[in-house]
């Protein structure tokens, strides 16, 4: 181990402001216009089908205005006392301030702490955050009052928080039962994982044991590998040779949990305000830290593109769901006769959809990938609480003025959202090329009124 007398010397932090470009002024008006255009596309073209076919009851992911307008979210996960809170304190310069996150050698963070921008420094209770519809946290109410008591927000004026929101989580403690927390810890983690733009999984080189809780966490991260960054923190606590051994051991432990051809990027450094320990690879640690900051800055700069891609992906899932429900409805009507028992007929369809080519017909008649199809069993549960007779076929989901639900969502997926993305990438005013349908904020023209 390395001598720790160095902890009284503070480290130079000027590279943080330089790498994250705090001095660069953003084009706030252009970003706001793009967000409004995205919100308009979602509400006019995607949400109607979402509501008509109760998509939220299938996926439990309702998109709020707060989520569309929210800043990118950076989530910190990992075992207890690995330096997650210390890392946030370091990036925001909170050390020795009244609002620094509490740190220590024992498990310290028992709450989910959301650090976000505000005009003044203040704390916000979880129950207030969940009740505020303008924020993106209102869906967290479903996890119960016990969880909301373990949710806290901290608002403060900071250049970095103008562009991103940090979420600190309770450390994973092996051999602790979920019930002891008093709320569904894994479900709450999944909610934040699903919405995070960047996920830092932090490790201490002296605590690399992988237990059941950590295995469960990485199962929850499946499908989000592109957002994951592994951080080997407190790296200057070890001599160089020992650090190399630990680095190899970390990959060995995580390899079975991350089943992808290209493993996540691993950053090796020490994220706290004090100088690196003597006789360690300080140049390497500094370069690694700058690389991580560049990675964070990339997420911030691409936040609008990521938001558009997320809404488009959501729209594709909603469209597939609508097509499947429509196919179930059509099949039910075809199989019903005057003497049929509706419950028995539909039970046969739901229990064996392949017999009636429910999913295969969607693949054959639409440009849907088989890899995008949801689980068949999910629809048994879905129709268990939603009677098939509550849904109309897509062909009857049309109006003379509003058009057809399917046409609108397909136009959004294939034309409007890609056009908005192109306008962002080319630096044009978003949406000017495709304003015919919505007017882009102008008073809509009545096409059926004679001049």
Each residue's pLDDT tens digit, 95-152: 877 777 877 555 555 889 999 999 999 999 999 999 987 788 988 999 999 999 999 9
- Give the whole-angstrom CA distance, residue 45 versus residue 410: 8
- Give the whole-angstrom CA distance, residue 449 versus residue 396: 25
pLDDT over 70, % of the chain: 88
Residue 268: which of 296, 294, 240 has the closest Cα? 240
Residues contacting 238, CB < 8 A, separation 6+: 1, 2, 205, 246, 280
Check pLDDT > 50 for residue 299.
yes
Judge if 49 and 80 occupy the same domain.
no
pLDDT band, very low/low/confident/very high, at 409 (cuts 50, 70, 90): very high
CATH (domain of 205)? 3.40.50.300
Judge if 121 and 238 occupy the same domain.
yes
Contact present, 81 and 107 (Cβ < 8 Å) = yes
Judge if 54 and 120 occupy the same domain.
no
Judge if 47 and 89 occupy the same domain.
no
Residue 77: which of 168, 190, 211, 162 has the closest Cα? 168
Judge if 213 and 77 occupy the same domain.
yes
Judge if 107 and 256 occupy the same domain.
yes
Judge if 242 and 363 occupy the same domain.
no
CA dihedral 439, 440, 443, 444 (to 10 degrees): 20
Please name every residue paired with 265 in a beta bridge, in sequence order, or none if there are none: 229
- Give the whole-angstrom CA distance, residue 116 versus residue 48: 31
Contact present, 179 and 157 (Cβ < 8 Å) = no
Each residue's pLDDT tens digit, 323-374: 999 999 999 999 988 888 888 998 999 999 999 999 988 888 777 788 888 8
The predicted model gives 385-395 an average pLDDT of 92
Sign of CA dihedral 71, 431, 440, 315: negative
Whether residue 1 is contained in a domain is answered as: no
Please name every residue paired with 79 in a beta bridge, in sequence order, or none if there are none: 172
Q: How far is CA 375 from CA 90, 288, 379, in A?
A: 43, 41, 7
Q: Whole domain around residue 417: which residue ranges? A: 26-58+303-435
Q: What is the layout of strands, in order, in the sheet containing 112-117? A: 122-125, 151-156, 112-117, 165-168, 73-77, 198-203, 228-232, 265-268
Instruction: Give the residue from 265, 280, 295 where a domain finishes.
Output: 280
Check pLDDT > 60 for residue 451.
no
What number of residues does the chain have? Answer: 451
pLDDT band, very low/low/confident/very high, at 433 (cuts 50, 70, 90): very low
Q: Which residue has the tokens 């009740």?
A: 131
Judge if 310 and 417 occupy the same domain.
yes
Q: Which residue has the tokens 């237990």?
A: 211
| The pairing of beta strand 403-404 with beta strand 265-268 | unpaired
3-state class (DSSP) for residue 48: helix
Split into its structural domains, the chain has a count of 2
Contact present, 67 and 42 (Cβ < 8 Å) = no
Judge if 156 and 276 occupy the same domain.
yes
Residue 294: which of 14, 11, 13, 18 has the closest Cα? 18
Task: Report the chain's mean pLDDT, rounded to a whole number.
Answer: 85
Whether residue 5 is contained in a domain is answered as: no
Output Rg (C-alpha) for the chain, integer angstroms: 25
Judge if 51 and 80 occupy the same domain.
no
CATH (domain of 356)? 1.10.268.20
């Amino acid at each position: 181990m390395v001598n720790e007398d160095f902890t009284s010397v503070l480290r130079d932090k000027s590279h943080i402001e330089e790498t994250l470009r705090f001095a660069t002024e953003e084009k706030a008006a252009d970003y706001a216009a793009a967000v409004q255009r995205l919100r308009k596309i979602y509400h006019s073209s995607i949400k109607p089908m979402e509501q008509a076919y109760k998509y939220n009851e299938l996926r439990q992911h309702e998109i709020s205005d707060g989520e569309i307008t929210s800043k990118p979210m950076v989530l910190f996960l990992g075992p207890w006392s690995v330096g997650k809170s210390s890392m946030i304190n370091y990036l925001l310069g909170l050390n020795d301030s009244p609002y620094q996150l509490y740190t220590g050698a024992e498990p310290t963070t028992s709450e989910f702490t959301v650090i976000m921008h505000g005009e003044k420094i203040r704390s916000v209770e979880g129950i207030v955050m969940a009740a505020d519809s303008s924020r993106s946290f209102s869906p967290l109410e479903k996890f119960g009052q016990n969880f909301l008591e373990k949710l806290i927000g901290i608002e403060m004026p900071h250049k970095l928080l103008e562009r991103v929101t940090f979420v600190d989580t309770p450390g994973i403690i092996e051999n602790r039962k979920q019930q002891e927390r008093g709320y569904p810890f894994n479900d709450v983690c999944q909610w934040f994982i699903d919405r995070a733009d960047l996920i830092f999984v932090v490790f201490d080189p002296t605590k690399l044991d992988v237990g059941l809780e950590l295995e469960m966490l990485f199962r929850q991260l499946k499908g989000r590998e592109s957002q994951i960054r592994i951080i080997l923190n407190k790296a200057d606590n070890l001599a160089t040779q020992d650090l190399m051994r630990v680095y190899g051991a970390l990959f060995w432990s995580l390899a079975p949990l991350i089943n992808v051809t290209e493993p996540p990027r691993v950053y090796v450094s020490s994220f706290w305000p004090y100088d690196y320990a003597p006789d360690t690879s300080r140049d390497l640690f500094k370069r690694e830290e700058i690389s991580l900051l560049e990675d964070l800055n990339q997420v911030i700069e691409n936040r609008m593109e990521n938001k558009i891609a997320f809404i488009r992906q959501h729209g594709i899932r909603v469209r597939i769901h609508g097509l499947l429900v429509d196919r179930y409805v059509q099949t039910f009507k075809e199989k019903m006769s005057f003497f049929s028992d509706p419950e028995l007929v539909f039970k046969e369809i739901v229990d064996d959809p392949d017999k009636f080519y429910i999913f295969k017909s969607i693949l054959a008649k639409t440009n849907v990938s088989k890899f995008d199809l949801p689980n068949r069993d999910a629809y048994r549960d879905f129709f268990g609480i939603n009677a098939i007779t509550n849904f109309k076929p897509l062909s009857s989901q049309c109006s003379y003025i509003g058009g057809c639900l399917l046409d609108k969502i397909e136009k959004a997926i294939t034309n409007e959202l890609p056009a908005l993305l192109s306008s962002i990438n080319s630096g044009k005013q978003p949406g000017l090329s495709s304003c015919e349908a919505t007017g882009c904020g102008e008073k809509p023209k009545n096409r059926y009124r004679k001049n």
